[in-house]
A and B are shown apart, each in its own frame.
Chain A
Amino acid sequence: MRHIISVLLENEAGALSRVAGLFSARGYNIESLTVAPTEDATLSRMTLVTTGDEAIIEQITKQLNKLVDVVKLVDLSEGAHIEREIMMIKVRADQAMRDELKRLADIFRGSIIDVTDVSYTIEMTGDGHKLDAFIRVVDPELIIETVRSGPLGIARGGRRLTL
C-alpha cells in the first residue's frame, strides 16, 4: 500500500543522506522524497512516499524515528490529509496547437509561465492523479520535458506535525 510520511528533521548537513541511506540499506521502496527548511530555520520538513505492507511501513516509521536527526514524524495516510504536487511541463506549441494547449491548461487550472515561438511551459498543481491525467491528454509527441516535485502533504483539520 502507498503511504505518505511527513518528517520533521534537524536542518543539518547529512540529515537527508541518513534518511536516503536508511531506505537503500534496508531495501525499502521510495517513490518520492521532497525536503525544504520550515519557518523554523533549524528544522527541515520532508515528505516521502513509499509503499509496503503494514509490517514494512511499521518498520519504516520505527527506523526513521530511530535516526537521531529525526525529531518527529507522522504517517499522513493514517488520517484525512491533503496532497499537492507541482509540475512544470514544457510542450511544443506551434501555431496550430497553441489554442488547444491553452484550453487544456485552463481546464486543468494550469498556467502558462513561459512562452516562446514554439513552446509553452505550463505550471500545474494538484494531486499526482491530476498531473498524470494532464500528461495523458497531451499528445506525447508534444511533450519536450516534465519536472515534478513529488507530493507534499498536510493533515486535514486540527491534526498537525509541529514541535
Chain B
Amino acid sequence: MELSGAEIVVQALKDEGVEYVWGYPGGAVLHIYDALFNQEHVRHILVRHEQGATHAADGYARATGKVGVVLVTSGPGATNAVTGIATAYMDSIPMVILTGQVPTPVIGSDAFQEVDTVGITRPCVKHNFLVKRVEDLADTIKKAFYIAASGRPGPVVVDIPKDVTDPNIRIPYHYPDKIEMRSYNPVEKGHLGQIRKAVDMMLDAERPVVYTGGGVILGEASEQLTELIRTTGFPITNTLMGLGSFPASDPQFIGMLGMHGTYEANMAMHETDVLIAIGARFDDRVTGKIAHFCPNAKIIHIDVDPASISKTVRVDVPIVGQVRSVLHDMLRVLKEHTRKPDSARLKTWWERINGWRKMDCLSYEQGGGAIKPQYAVETLHKVTRDSDFYLTSDVGQHQMFAAQFYPFEKPRRWINSGGLGTMGFGLPAAMGVQQAFPDAVVACVTGEASIQMCIQELATCKQYNLPIKVVLLNNGYMGMVRQWQEFFYDGRYSHSYVDALPNFKMLAESFGHVGMRIDNPADLEGAYREAFAMKDRLVFMDIIVDPSENVYPMIEAGKGHHEMHLSPHLSSDRELA
C-alpha cells in the first residue's frame, strides 16, 4: 500500500485505534486535513481554540485511560496548545499532539507561522519529535503513542513539516505492531525484596497512613489499592489527583490531604509512624513545609518513575514499578505472611483519628441568605449520585469545594488540572469526557473567572451536541486569589474582582444552549433537577454564591500539616497545634 505522508498520518491514527482527534486546521496541516476528509474511521472534533483541543483530548484521556490526540497547525496553533500540553505533562496524562510545521527547506528562516515547536515544548513534554522524512513518519507516530502511554505517561509532540505530508510523494506504508527503543524501557515489576521490607515495616506500624495520588488511577490499580486497604485496616488519604481511587464513602477514607485537606487526614499525616505513599509525588501543596512533613514517619514510596522517589522527601523504602503490579505482589506477600496487622494497635490509632474526625472540619452554615458554594456542591452530589456521573473542574475555590464535598466512589470520575492549575480546563475537558461517554452525565464545576478562559468552546458543544451541565459557582471574584488577599494582604483585593461580567444566561442562550440563573438556596435543588432532566441539552447554570466564603481547612504555604486554619465557626481562626 503506497500512501502520502498526510495519508500515513491518518492511517497510523486508525491503526492505533484512535477514535477522536481534537484540532484546528491551518496552512501547515492542510494536507493532513485533506486526508482526514476522505475517511470515516478517525473522527475530527473542531474546537474554537487550540487550548480547547488539548484540554478536550486530555479530559478524554483522563476519563478513558486511552491516549488523547490533538492536531494543530504550526506557529500560533502550536503555541496555543502549549498550555494544554503543560497541563497534561504536570498530571502525567497520555497524549499525542501532532503539530504542523513549515516545510523543511524553510525551517529556521523565520517563515510565516514558524516557531521552534520542538524547542518551545521540550520542557513540558515527555518527549518530542521533528519528523524530517516521510519514511520516518509511521515509526515516529508509533513511538509517540508507545512513549505517551507507557511507564509514567505524558504528552508527546510530533512536529510534522508540510513537505513531509506532500500528497504527491507516496511511499509504501507499514505500521509497526511493536516498537523497541534501546533508550526507553519503563519498569514493570517492583523489586520483591523491597516489597517484603515494606510489608514488614507496615506490620510493625502503630500509626500507619496510606497516602495515594493520581498514579493509582493512571496505573489502573484502584482494585488492588482497595483490597490492600481492606486487608490491612489502615486509614487512607488521597491527593487531589487521587480522589476516586478508593471509595470516598468508605469509613477507612479520611479525606483529601494537604493545603485544603481534612483535619483528620493532615493530623494523621503529622502523627503517622509509617507512611505508605503510592503513585503520589509529594507535591508542595500536599507536603507543606518539608521540614515539618511526617516528622515521626518511616516512608515507603511506590512509583513507576524513579525520579519521583526522594525528589523532595527522603524515603526509607523505595519501590520502583507499576503500581498495579507492585500492589498485586504486596498483597500476595501480606497474605503469605505469618503475621497480620495488629488490630489492637490499629484500634487505638483509629480512636485518635475518629477524635479528629469529630471536629467536622468541613462543616459550614447554610442560612437563608446567599447560596454557599459548599451547599451547591453537596446538592449537586445529591442530585447526581445515582447517575453515571463525571465531574470536571476549573481551578480555584470551586475546585477545592468540589474536591472536598463531592465524594467520588470510582476512579476517573473527577477530572481536574491538579499540577499546573490551569484555569479554562474544565469546559473543554468535559467535552472530551462527554465525547467518550455520550450516555454519561457530565458536569463541569467552574467559576466566573475560569469559565471565561475557554468560553468559546460553548460553540463546539453546540456543533457536536454535547449535553454538558455547566455548574458555575459565581462569586464575582477570583475566589482563591481573593482568599489569599484576605489572609495575607490585609484584604487589599488587587484585581481579583471581576467587574463587568457577562449575563451568562443570555450568553449561553446566544450559543444555542439553555441558560439558568439561580440565587436562592431554596431553588437550587429544583434547578439542578430541571437541568439534569434535559438529557440532550447543554445547560449553563449561573449559580450566585456567597462571595465571602473561604476554603477551609487551610494550611498556609510553608507551614506544617498540624498548623491548619479552620473555619472561623469552628476555631475563631486560631491555629491548632
Chain B residues contacting A18 (CB-CB under 8 Å) are 122
Residues of B within 8 A of A (CB): 118-119, 122-123, 126-127, 130, 147, 181-184, 305-307, 309-311, 314
Cβ 8 A contact of B183, one of A21, A25, A69: A69
Could you list 7 examples of A-B contacts with CB < 8 Å?
A17-B122, A21-B122, A62-B309, A65-B306, A66-B305, A70-B183, A71-B182
Whether A68 contacts B130 by the Cβ 8 Å rule is: no
Per DSSP, chain A at the interface is helix
Residues of A within 8 A of B (CB): 9-10, 13-14, 17-18, 21, 25, 55, 58-59, 62-63, 65-66, 68-71, 163
* A68/B310 contact (C-beta < 8 A), A9-B183, A10-B183, A163-B182 known: no
Q: How many A-B residue pairs have CB under 8 A?
A: 38
Chain A residues contacting B118 (CB-CB under 8 Å) are 14
Whether B183 contacts A71 by the Cβ 8 Å rule is: yes
Chain A residues contacting B126 (CB-CB under 8 Å) are 68
Chain A residues contacting B314 (CB-CB under 8 Å) are 55
Q: Closest B-chain residue to A163, C-beta based? A: B182
* A21/B123 contact (C-beta < 8 A), A55-B310, A58-B310 known: yes
What is the CA–CA distance of A163 and B183 in the complex, to the nearest angstrom?
10
Shortest Cβ distance from B78 into chain A, in angstroms? Answer: 16
What is the CA–CA distance of A70 and B306 in the complex, to the nearest angstrom?
15
What is the CA–CA distance of A14 and B122 in the complex, to the nearest angstrom?
9
Chain A residues contacting B130 (CB-CB under 8 Å) are 13-14
What is the CA–CA distance of A95 and B485 in the complex, to the nearest angstrom?
73
What is the CA–CA distance of A107 and B225 in the complex, to the nearest angstrom?
68
What is the CA–CA distance of A26 and B181 in the complex, to the nearest angstrom?
26
Q: Closest A-chain residue to B306, C-beta based? A: A62
What is the CA–CA distance of A71 and B183 in the complex, to the nearest angstrom?
4
Shortest Cβ distance from B520 into chain A, in angstroms? Answer: 50
Whether B311 contacts A59 by the Cβ 8 Å rule is: yes
Shortest Cβ distance from A27 into chain B, in angstroms? Answer: 13
Chain A residues contacting B122 (CB-CB under 8 Å) are 14, 17-18, 21
Q: Closest B-chain residue to A25, C-beta based? A: B123
What is the CA–CA distance of A115 and B242 in the complex, to the nearest angstrom?
69
Shortest Cβ distance from B284 into chain A, in angstroms? Answer: 15
* A59/B307 contact (C-beta < 8 A), A21-B123, A25-B123, A68-B126 known: yes
Chain B residues contacting A69 (CB-CB under 8 Å) are 183
Q: Closest B-chain residue to A58, C-beta based? A: B310
What is the CA–CA distance of A21 and B124 in the complex, to the nearest angstrom?
11
> What 11 additional pairs, Cβ within 8 angstroms, besides A58-B310, A65-B307?
A14-B122, A14-B130, A17-B122, A21-B123, A25-B123, A59-B310, A62-B306, A62-B309, A66-B305, A68-B147, A163-B182
* A62/B307 contact (C-beta < 8 A), A9-B183, A10-B183, A68-B183 known: yes
* A68/B182 contact (C-beta < 8 A), A14-B118, A55-B310, A59-B307 known: no
